[in-house]
Amino acid sequence: MTLEQAHAAIRAGMEIADSMRGNLMACAGLGVGSHESAALILSRLTPCPIRDLLAAGPQMNPDLLAHLLAVVHGAQARHRDVQDAVEVLAAFGGFETAVMVGAILVAASKRHLVMVDGITACAALMVASLIAESVTDYCVFCRSHSHLGLDQALNLFRASALLELGMESTDGTGATLAWPMVKCAAALLTEVADGEDPGPSRPGEFDAAEPFEETVRTASPFGDALY
């Protein structure tokens, strides 16, 4: 991308996020080459070696890894002087990553929850966090596969995935499966009764004639409920 195209894609993501209903957004990358593109972004913006981001695991074909390293090292050499976050995004990223950057920035500015699934979404979050550091305060992390490069990406944010199901699926699956758990957690924060006795309940002392106390909702940074 040119720098102008990167800025335009970020603006497009901001417009998309601003028009979305609800107060939760899931980010995941799709497309051939998106993992390698994300690895290039993360390795330039952090101290993490690109080999660690590309290595899928001990069973990965060494010839394939060597080929990927040759390709990405050529891209790194071509843009060896690029350091600014948006310039790195333009040099190595795809349009989908740039759109996610804009969407994350707007979602965080509205104090909406952002579910980050996969290394491409991690690369977008890294760029967004270098533009506005506080965006990570509104993120939870998910995973849809066991690729070791994603372990390294999550470590950059000192994060772990909500679920570790051992799946080998497309990015976005983990966020979909984690969504009910996030919704239940939000309900626990906003719908529990205030001032309940913390001791164990004793069914024998339950008096059906006594009315239940009205549930008092407490404020949540993500609104009354996630939807």
Q: Domain coordinates of the chain in residue numbers?
A: 3-171
Q: What is the model's pLDDT at position 198?
A: 53
CATH number of 3-171: 3.40.50.10210
Contact at 8 Å (CB) between 99 and 13?
yes
Q: Tell me which residue of 139, 167, 165, 169 sits closest to 154, measured CA to CA.
A: 139
pLDDT, one tens digit per residue, over 108-141 is 999 999 999 999 999 999 999 999 999 999 999 9
Query: Over pLDDT 70: what percentage of the chain?
Result: 84
Q: For residue 188, what pLDDT is reported?
A: 87
Q: Where are the alpha helices (DSSP H) in the chain?
A: 3-19, 34-45, 50-54, 62-78, 85-92, 95-109, 119-131, 148-156, 173-191
For the stretch 54-109, pLDDT in tens is 998 888 999 999 999 999 999 999 999 999 999 999 999 989 999 999 999 999 99
Neighbours of 49 (CB within 10 A): 12
Model confidence at 25: pLDDT above 90: yes
Under the banding of pLDDT at 50, 70 and 90, the label for residue 212 is very low
| Cα–Cα distance for residue pair 93/98, rounded to 1 Å | 7
pLDDT value of residue 85: 96
- The overall average pLDDT reported for the chain is 87
